[in-house]
Amino acid sequence: ATGHYARIVKNDAANQWMLLTGADDRKDQSYALYQMDEFQLGHTLFPLGEYTKPETRKLARQAELPVAEKAESQEICFIDTSYAD
């Protein structure tokens, strides 16, 4: 599972996994995942894909997670500093 704002569904008629945009248009990250193949899609979960950012923050606050109040970031998630540096 990852924290990306994207969704994966199985098209049973075509027997195919499909990558969809996240429910929050402002935070959608499916564009960064477009190269995932069907095997990868079938073995990945995007639990945040069905939520908006405010809904995610609310759930994090309810669970008393420190990340609930973390500042917004537009950087690459796995790089601590600006990727432009």
> What confidence tens digit (pLDDT) does each residue in 46-72 have?
999 999 999 999 999 999 999 888 887
| Residues near 30 by beta carbon (within 8 Å), at least 6 away in sequence | 4, 5, 6, 7, 19, 20, 21, 22
Query: Which DSSP letter does residue 2 get?
Result: -
* Tens digit of each residue's pLDDT (9 = 90 or more) over 29-43: 999 999 999 999 999
- Separation CA 85–CA 72 (nearest Å): 19
The pTM assigned to this predicted structure is 0.75
- Separation CA 6–CA 76 (nearest Å): 16
CB 5 within 8 A of CB 12: no
